[in-house]
Structure 1
Amino acid sequence: MSSTTAQRRTVALASAAVVALALAGCSTDTNAGSEGEGKVLTFTAAGEAPAQAVIDAFEDANPGVTVKATFANDDASYQQTLRTQLSAGTAPDVFRIWPGGGNATAVRTLGDDDLLMSLEDEPWAGELSDSQRSVSVNSDGTLVGIPVTVVGIGAVWNDQALAEAGLTPPTKWSEVLEFCKAANDKGKVAFALGLKSAWTTQLVPYALTSTLVYGPDADFTEQQLAGSATFVDSEWQNAMDKYAEMRDGGCFNENPNGVGYDEQMTSLGEGTALGAIQVTSAAANAQQYAAEDTTFSMTPVPATDDPADTYLPVSVGIEYAINADAKEPELAKKFLEFLASSEGQAIYATESGAAPALPSEDFETGPVLAAVAEYQADGRDRPFPDVFWPNPKVQSEHLTAIQELFNGSISATQVLERMDAAFAEG
């Protein structure tokens, strides 16, 4: 899935044009010094704070090494620019990518185009679980990405705003609309929603389908690939209908299509909204807009009236890869080895508001991530569905169609019909 990396520092924003120029030039910087010392590693990512924190620690641990980094805050422009630079042969040595094959800069998509270096022989490769490896390999099964964070999707709550409203999170679907009405009666928005940032459109459906579709039928995508299942003739229809019910039941702020992610996080942080159905890292982003003593927590989004049926969507959130034509391949591998270490994993996860993908004795789990750990331990977690979709067009169609659904120009069924058509393209 596409998601915005949580930031705990002020992030310098760059236009797509500036990012393109920066990326175009950054891969040409090399240094003829001795191995390691005096070398320059080029790097880019969407989202600055977690990556820069790891870069600082890596440079401290490797005196004489410089990491020349370029950052973008917008996932869409980052993906477009990175793809262009990879095709032109001017991309940096190390860069952020997405797990699976859900978009144009995902592991499988770039790996199948021979744009990523094999990581099979790296010392950390054996630490990946089967599920982590499945979203970090190309179609030939070659490891080409390193998973860095694990994120979940659920209802992220402003604890103080929730308590002041005298409400508790719903645990059954029948309680959801009642909760939304009660929040409105208190002058609050139940769930802040910012669909102007297109990647957020998928989060509510993913939260609902983890319980309605992939929880009871973990092989649903395989059935789709075999031609025996479709979105429109499955519980995806139920999930989309519930999304529309929440829209019509006053669960969200007015005009979600006109609200961006930052506005959504502002509303959550300031407490004008009690919660937001978001990735776990949203809490860290909302914190910058919140009073100093504000705390956040997360609960799963119920889709049935039996809490025992509820599943939580949990997936690898962020991956990194090495350019197949990296100017400093050995230094790039050394950076990924640091990123895979207990220290590197803890730094990145803490700064991004996520959990580490690889084992880390240095990481402390907070209240937002507690639900992820709980549902993983119970076996009630499911991957984000897009990581196994056969092409990036399915997710792209999904994002656009949800916006149109909220404009009232298409129905929930038409959303799924368009996703089916994109899925059929293979």
Structure 2
Amino acid sequence: MNLTSGRRRTVALGSAAVVALALAGCSTATGDTAEGEGTVLTFSAAGEAPAQAVIDAFEEANPGVTVEATFANDDASYQQTLRTQLSAGTAPDVFRIWPGGGNATAVRTLGDDDLLMSLEDEAWVDDLSDAQRAVSENSEGTLVGLPVTVVGIGAVWNDQALEEAGLTPPETWSEVLDFCEAATEKGTVAFALGLKSAWTTQLVPYALTSTLVYGPDPQFTDQQLDGETTFGESEWQTAMDQYAEMQSAGCFNENPNGVGYDEQMTSLGEGTALGAIQVTSAAANAEQYAADGTTFSMTPLPATDDPADTYLPVSVGIEYAINADAENPELARTFMEFLASSEGQAIYATESGAAPALPSEDFETGPVLAAVGEYQAEGRDTPFPDVFWPNPKVQAEHLAAIQELFNATITPAQVLERMDLAFSEG
């Protein structure tokens, strides 16, 4: 499905992409690199564990091949480094990118700059849904990204901490505020929040606007592009007011702007916070800080007082691409074929705590991902807002403005004014 001039056609990710069970996977590439071609693949990603697991399996399946990988565990530094490498002509053969066009290293942003190789002729292309293609194409409709994971955004719970507190997940907006009050009375934190890692600032608004904006009105972004509405004129205002209300109600830990993602995950894992409004993969990161036997689950974050209104934001999470100037393009294509295979998808998804984007008979779902499959099956899921925004400035303004909101230097309305100005520049 084509995206032209940053416009989108509204589509929903199919539930089969999330559950991905009992389906035939792609064939796994084995050591058939053509004679005379390089056997060294250069690679970079943000987030080491899942990528390294796939690299290990790929090298085992392709004897004689070596993957030289570099990793960054911070998205912002990775994105900055990748852009610098691409500008200087020193980028690796294969690298991680983001779906849609929401930031400087997203599919459409890099694809429109002719920095990514076309993937239209790959064998796995037919396994993509229309929704996955929509966030994996450049503005001309050429496929340049391989979706690897699907993630949702909701309240990720430490089940044992929740049980010990004697509380249950809220199902309405009023119950969210009551839940926060009850958690405070029990001497614990309802939701760990780490805004020092700027990318986390957007997750609460995305969770709320899924129900308030994009679920009821899937064409909202198109209307913005047509000049018919703005963030400030929409239920985005309600969502931003609710975010501020949660802060005032004591829903979060003290000084969120001084807390990073790792500290947020420590609180969730250790149970000093009952939950965190995060992507589904957060549970896998929190596990490293949790006691043996700790389990995690996820529920949507409600934004109204009618549970039937609630939607869940679900989107392709991680994508990979081939450098348009790759030194070893054929080996890069072989790696991407493996990454698209049933085995490759299952390895990456399992290690990252997400669901595979493509069919994988090797993947087993768990309780954190159960809500994603449920809400997709019911048609109550929406894409992440930023994947169809017309330029990376909107997300950048959003991230910075939320931090200022929590410093009490601007109002929710001013956050949206700045986002509207950035949107109009696209």
| TM-score, normalisation: structure 1 | 0.92
Q: Where does residue 214 of structure 1 map in the other structure?
A: 214
**Are residues 1:94 and 2:94 paired?**
yes
CA contact (8 A) 1:36 1:65 kept: no
Other structure's SS at 2:298 match: strand
Per-residue CA deviations over 1:260-315 (Å, capped at 9, x if unaligned) read 00000000000000000000000000000000110000000000111111000000
Residues 38 and 331, structure 2, Cα contact 8 Å, conserved in 1: no
How many Å separate the matches in 1 of 2:331 and 2:416?
A: 45
Q: Deviations over 1:48-94 (max 9, x none)?
A: 10000000000000001111101111111110110011111110000
Contact 2:38 2:328 (8 Å CA) reproduced: no
2:117 and 2:182 mapped to 1: Cα distance? 53
Aligned to 1:250: 250
Q: Distance in 2 between matches of 1:350 and 1:37?
A: 32
Equivalenced residues, count? 394
Q: Distance in 2 between matches of 1:167 and 1:84?
A: 48
Taking structure 1 as reference, are residues 290 and 141 closer, same or farther at Cα in structure 2, changes over 3 Å only? Answer: same
Q: Is the 8 A contact 2:338 2:344 kept in 1?
A: yes
**C-alpha deviation, 1:126, in angstroms:** 1.1
Contact 1:96 1:318 in 2 (8 A): yes
**TM-score, normalised relative to structure 2:** 0.92
CA distance in structure 2 between the partners assigned to 1:347 and 1:135 by the alignment: 22
- 2:336 matched to 1:336? yes
Q: What is residue 12 of structure 2 aligned with on the other side?
A: none
Percent identical pairs in the alignment equals 86
Report which structure shows greater RCO (CA 8 Å, sep ≥6): 2
Describe how 1:358-373 pairs up with structure 2 within 5 A: 358-373=358-373
Are 1:37 and 1:62, in contact at CA under 8 Å, matched by a contact in 2?
A: no
Task: Indicate the SS of the match to 2:196.
Answer: coil
Aligned to 1:350: 350
Contact 2:37–2:328, Cα closer than 8 Å, also in 1: no
Counterparts of 2:239 and 2:44 in 1: how far apart (Å)? 36
**Equivalent-residue separation in structure 1 for 2:34 and 2:141 (angstroms):** 35
Tell me the equivalent position of 1:301: 301
User: How much has 1:35 moved relative to structure 2?
Assistant: 2.9
Q: Is the contact made by 1:184 and 1:250 (CA closer than 8 Å) also made in structure 2?
A: yes
The CA distance in 1 between the partners of 2:331 and 2:366, in whole Å, is 33
Letter in 2 for 1:371: A
Question: What is the alpha-carbon distance in structure 2 between the residues aligned to residue 36 and residue 229 of structure 1?
Answer: 57
Is there any run of 5+ residues in structure 2 with no aligned partner, and where?
A: 1-32
State the distance in 2 between where 1:174 and 1:83 align: 44
Q: One-letter code of the match for 1:67?
A: V
Q: Secondary structure at the match of 1:124?
A: helix
Q: Over aligned residues, Cα RMSD in angstroms? A: 0.9
Counting only pairs closer than 5 Å after superposition, residues 259-274 of structure 1 correspond to structure 2 as: 259-274=259-274
Q: 1-side partners of 2:168 and 2:277: how far apart?
A: 15
Number of the residue aligned with 2:290: 290
Rounded to whole Å, the distance in 2 between the matches of 1:364 and 1:299 is 19
In structure 2, the partner of 1:23 is none
**Partners of 1:36 and 1:331 within 8 A in 2:** no
Deviation by residue 1:208-227 (Cα, 9 ceiling, x = unmatched): 00000000000000000000
Aligned with 2:289: secondary structure? coil
Letter in 2 for 1:394: V
SS of residue paired to 1:288: helix
Q: Report if the CA contact (8 A) 1:36-1:64 is conserved.
A: no
Is the contact made by 1:265 and 1:285 (CA closer than 8 Å) also made in structure 2? yes
Quote the residue 2:375 is aligned against.
375
Give me the whole-angstrom Cα distance separating, in 2, the residues matched to 1:34 and 1:323: 20
3-state SS in 2 of match to 1:362: coil
Question: Structure 1: which 5+ residue stretches go unaligned?
Answer: 1-32
Q: Distance in 2 between matches of 1:187 and 1:347?
A: 39
Amino acid at match of 1:206: Y
Corresponding residue SS for 2:212: helix
Q: How does 1:27-66 map to 2 (within 5 A)?
A: 35=35, 39-66=39-66
Q: Deviations over 1:358-381 (max 9, x none)?
A: 000000000000000000111100
Which aligned pairs between 1:4-403 and structure 2 lie closer than 5 A?
35=35, 39-403=39-403
Distance of 1:168 and 1:128 partners within structure 2: 37
- TM-superposed deviation, 1:36: 7.7
Whole-angstrom CA distance in 1 between matches of 2:189 and 2:221:
34
Answer yes or no: is the 8 Å Cα contact 1:38–1:64 preserved in 2.
Answer: no
> What is the alpha-carbon distance in structure 1 between the residues aligned to residue 320 and residue 87 of structure 2?
18
Retained in 2: the 8 A contact 1:103–1:109? Answer: yes
Q: Using the alignment, how far apart are the partners of 2:381 and 2:35 within structure 1?
A: 44
Distance, in Å, in 2 between the alignment partners of 1:378 and 1:175 is 23
What is the CA-CA distance between 1:34 and the residue it aligns to?
5.7
